Amino acid sequence: MTGNNGSLGGMPTQYVLPDMPYDYGALEPAITGEILELHHSKHHAAYVKGANDTLERLAETRDAGDFSGLVGLEKTFAFNLSGHVLHTIFWDNLSPDGGDRPDGELATAIDEHFGSFDAFRTQLSTATATVQGSGWGVLAWEPLSKRLVVEQVYDHHGNVGMNTTPILVFDAWEHAYYLQYRNVRPDYVQKLWNLVNWADVTSRFDAARGSGTSLTVPST
Ligand SMILES: [Fe+2]
């Protein structure tokens, strides 16, 4: 499935499943190789296919001039695109050499916007562990007020403040942990902290702050 740059009905494929940045077994014992392989090669792959398939359906909709199914297609596209984006970030956010705490300006920003690292950690852990149904806990950069925020995302695309940029994401879907942790999602969340690749989070933080996406109020 990786590297699928084929075409769908003459349209170039828009989304491609990325290779993992480490072996499937690299995050053991926190996450088993079996879970990681299923998670990447089946679940993440399905979101990539879903996003591409929905783009194709949207093109067919435009060609036919029949937009009666647009509401469902737009929801399906948001779901699959967001699933693809979040999983892509999630793999890079984790590392066999992860853990500890951030330093530098990211650490300062966390202290400023959450009070302390421990308070931030508790908020993100709780947001991840208490998502109703399936979702994510997300640390994001909010460009309007130029601050870090924690978002509790439903499915892949609900409960999100528009224009926020995720920089650290914790997958709270059962497919991420149930084979190993059963129903004890908080234990899985605590293990994730030992895998966080703060260098990756820091690079995303720096890119989000410097991307020039801060909103401006139009003068007219
Ligand atoms: Fe997932």
Distance between Cα 79 and ligand 1 center (Å): 12
pLDDT, average across residues 87-93: 98
pLDDT at 213 over 80: no
pLDDT of residue 141: 98
Convert the pLDDT of each residue in 47-71 to its tens digit.
999 999 999 999 999 999 999 999 9
- If you count DSSP H runs as helices and E runs as strands, how many of each does the chain have, helices first? 8, 5
Distance between Cα 136 and ligand 1 center (Å): 9
Distance between Cα 219 and ligand 1 center (Å): 42
pLDDT of residue 171: 98
Query: How far is Cα 142 from Cα 160, in angstroms, rounded to an integer?
Result: 11
Query: How far is Cα 132 from Cα 187, in angstroms, rounded to an integer?
Result: 17
Residues with CB under 5 A from ligand 1 (ion): 171, 173, 176
pLDDT at 3 over 60: no
